[in-house]
Amino acid sequence: MAEFDRQTVNAPASTAVIDQGLRSYMLKVYNYMGVGLAVTGVIAYFANQLAVTTDTANAAAQMANGTLLTGLGVAIYTSPLMWVITLAPLAFVLALSFGINRMSAATAQLVFWAFAAVMGVSLSSIFMVYTGTSIAKVFFISAAMFGSMSLYGYTTKRSLAGFGSFLFMGLIGIVIASIVNIFVASSALSFGISIVGVLIFVGLTAYDTQRIKESYYEGDGVEMMGKKAIMGALSLYLDFLNLFLMLLRLMGNNRS
């Protein structure tokens, strides 16, 4: 009887410790994600500023948005280096996904920050396509949608595991459709991809948040916890970024 009483008294304390640990873990995930997005945004902005100039003296080389490419801009946007910069983020994602078990937590962090920086260079062209005002507007809309769905994924008692395979198939579908659209250049197909993409990444935000929450284990050491936090941040980072880009295609105002 005394043993039962001790277990009863200790249970709430144990639960409180787990809850505190989970909150700390999720906060670390969101912090990594937030800093990663900040790095991407800052690098994207300054890479674009370095790549273009407002000198319009050479009308033949003038771009649609009234800017000229500098030497760096030519290297980023028009040379074969463009494909290296475009595909480099994928290499970092694959390195983290398949090599995380062989990395230390500190190495995984460095790879994540490098990925965020390279992604910034890759995305710098959005400032040449869309107005700064529309980019800011879509960013805040994306943040509101992401925050709402992530909160839902964290608080809901309903298991979202069953949606995982459905969302993954949808993701594969939009990747294939995007590749096809490179060759057919259909505006209708592009619009459809963006609509479906928003739905897919909204769903993935809730699904991944719940999955990350459920991956928490209070018995993990500092090293394992750090690796899990990095991988969780990577998942949410990709969800947010893709949601933002899909909404930007739908709502962004092109430069005249």
- 8-state DSSP, 68: E
Enclosing H/E stretch for 52: strand 52-53
Phi, psi (deg, nearest 5) at residue 223? -65, -50
- Provide the b/e sequence for 204-235 (b: ≥16 CB within 10 Å): bbbbbbbbbbeebeeeeeeeebbbbbbbbbbb
The answer for 66, left when phi > 0, alpha when psi is -120 to 50, beta otherwise, is left
- To 5 degrees, how large is the angle CA 222–CA 224–CA 228? 115
Contact 51, 43 (CB under 8 A): no
Enclosing H/E stretch for 239: helix 222-251
Residue 186 pLDDT: 85
- 8-state DSSP, 158: S
Residue 86 pLDDT: 73
pTM: 0.85
Question: For the chain, how are helix, strand and coil distributed in percent, rounded to 5?
Answer: 85, 0, 15
The pLDDT profile of the chain, 256 residues, written as one tens digit per residue, is: 444 344 444 545 456 555 888 999 999 999 999 999 999 999 999 888 887 765 444 444 444 455 666 655 666 666 666 667 777 788 888 888 889 989 999 999 999 999 999 999 889 888 888 988 999 999 999 999 999 999 999 999 999 988 888 999 999 999 899 889 888 888 889 899 999 999 999 999 999 999 999 999 888 888 999 999 999 999 999 999 999 999 999 998 887 6
* Residue appearing with tokens 């998942």: 235
Residue 1 pLDDT: 44
Enclosing H/E stretch for 237: helix 222-251
- Indicate the length of the chain as a whole number: 256
* Residue appearing with tokens 């370095």: 50
Residues 6+ apart with CB under 8 A from 85: 76, 118, 121, 122
Residue 132 pLDDT: 87
User: Is the Cα torsion angle 213, 214, 217, 222 positive or negative in sign?
Assistant: negative
